């Protein structure tokens, strides 16, 4: 699917970006009495947190326009690359300032290596950080996560750095859609891991760990009880509905960003409606920019899809809306073959689509 501009949210869940916006925020003073001297089981929550915390950072982003906020990130490799959310660093992409602070108080300037608005993933690189002091967090396999598995989230909720919360995986493959927090209309889409671990503004970009301490997701969003369920990033708080980008997808995106500085998206070469629906993802009559809704010679065209077709399944995943379809496609890589189930004039058909690719967020 080509990059689409979000008007409606479709069947996906609209969410509040879990980034702490400095504007109008209240400063809370807390004290740290130091670590307990009592030994903990290495496999306990305390043991996992003790191993993971030294590899997490609190990110402060300041834009040239004065906008800024606080988020979280974690060490990806010994070269100084840190994974976080795009919306955490969006304010500092063009001429802004980034800093990353470790739990021991060491602070480093950083620069954006690459960012992907659609995936809501970004990679920054620390300046002058000694590789000997950087310990990458181990990455798990998000495809093997099960509902009910224990989760541990680390972040800086409302600026309170190095906060650890716990919960479980509440659901998988949850469609989530939102703007990227930069004031632009382009949207981010994910097929998210849902957790009830407490996630608040400032947790964005932080690791969601399994019981062994391996990263299974990037904490990215919350649903709020405010404002009809969607709240604002400066006022909303956790109600037990947090969403994380699966680490298998985030790892692929991060590797592409480090390699080329540009994200690579899988696509079917068709524009779909983003209107709220529960019946499927309908291919529109015309593309967003007035172009053909089905790209001539593209993957969808080669598979026989046409404007007006309603896509109801991708492989075994039920598709209830355009955002859900986009999120599912972006869990795949270009070149993957997927089975598409669709309805045309009320009759169900299936076809195989070999996904194409799009580089960058510009089109």
Tens of each residue's pLDDT in the chain, 363 residues: 333 322 223 344 455 556 666 544 334 444 455 555 678 888 899 999 999 999 999 999 988 777 778 899 999 999 999 999 999 998 888 878 999 999 999 999 999 999 999 999 999 999 999 988 899 999 999 999 999 999 999 998 888 889 999 999 999 999 888 664 445 545 788 899 999 998 888 899 999 999 999 999 999 988 766 543 333 344 466 677 899 999 999 999 999 999 999 999 999 999 999 887 778 999 998 877 778 899 999 999 999 999 999 999 999 999 999 999 999 999 999 999 999 999 999 999 999 999 999 998 864
Residues whose CB falls within 8 Å of the CB of residue 136, separated by 6 or more in sequence, listed in order: 55, 75, 76, 77, 78
Is residue 105 exposed (0-12), middle (13-18) or buried (19+ Cβ within 10 Å)? exposed
Cα(242)–Cα(151) distance, rounded to whole angstroms? 11
**Confidence (pLDDT) at 89:** 92
**Confidence (pLDDT) at 296:** 94
Active site residues: 87, 120, 204
**Confidence (pLDDT) at 38:** 74
Cα(44)–Cα(344) distance, rounded to whole angstroms? 54
3-state secondary structure of 79: coil
**Structural domains of the chain ordered from first start:** 20-137 (2.40.10.10), 142-249 (2.40.10.10), 264-359 (2.30.42.10)
DSSP state for residue 323 in the 8-state scheme: H
**Confidence (pLDDT) at 274:** 87
**Confidence (pLDDT) at 241:** 84
């Amino acid at each position: 699917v080509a990059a689409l501009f979000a008007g409606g949210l479709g069947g996906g869940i609209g969410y509040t970006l879990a980034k702490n916006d400095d504007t109008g925020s209240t400063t809370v003073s807390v004290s740290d009495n130091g670590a307990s001297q009592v030994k903990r089981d290495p496999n306990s929550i305390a043991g996992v947190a003790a191993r993971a915390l030294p590899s997490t950072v609190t990110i402060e982003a300041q834009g040239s326009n004065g906008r800024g906020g606080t988020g979280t990130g974690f060490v990806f490799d010994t070269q100084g690359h840190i994974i976080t959310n795009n919306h955490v660093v969006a304010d500092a992409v063009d001429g802004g300032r980034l800093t990353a602070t470790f739990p021991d108080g060491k602070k480093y300037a950083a620069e954006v290596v690459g960012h992907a608005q659609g995936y809501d993933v970004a990679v920054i690189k620390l300046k002058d950080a000694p590789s000997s002091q950087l310990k990458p967090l181990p990455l798990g396999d998000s495809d093997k996560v099960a509902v009910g598995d224990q989760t541990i989230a680390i972040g800086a909720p409302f600026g309170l750095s190095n906060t650890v919360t716990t919960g479980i995986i509440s659901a998988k493959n949850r469609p989530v859609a939102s703007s990227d927090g930069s004031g632009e209309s382009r949207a981010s889409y994910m097929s998210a891991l849902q957790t009830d671990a407490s996630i608040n503004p400032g947790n964005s970009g932080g690791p969601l760990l399994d019981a062994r301490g391996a990263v299974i997701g990037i904490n990215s969003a919350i649903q709020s009880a405010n404002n009809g369920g969607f709240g604002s990033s400066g006022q909303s708080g956790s109600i037990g509905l947090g969403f994380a980008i699966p680490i298998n997808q985030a790892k692929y995106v991060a590797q592409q960003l480090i390699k080329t500085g540009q994200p690579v998206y899988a696509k079917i070469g068709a524009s779909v409606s983003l209107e709220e629906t529960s019946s499927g993802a309908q291919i529109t009559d015309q593309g967003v920019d007035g172009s053909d809704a089905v790209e001539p010679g593209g993957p969808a065209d080669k598979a026989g899809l046409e404007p007006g077709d309603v896509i109801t399944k991708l492989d075994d995943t039920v598709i209830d809306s355009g955002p859900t379809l986009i999120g599912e496609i972006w869990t795949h890589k270009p070149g993957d073959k997927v089975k598409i189930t669709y309805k045309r004039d009320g009759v169900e058909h299936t076809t195989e689509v070999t996904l194409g690719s799009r580089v960058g967020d510009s089109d």
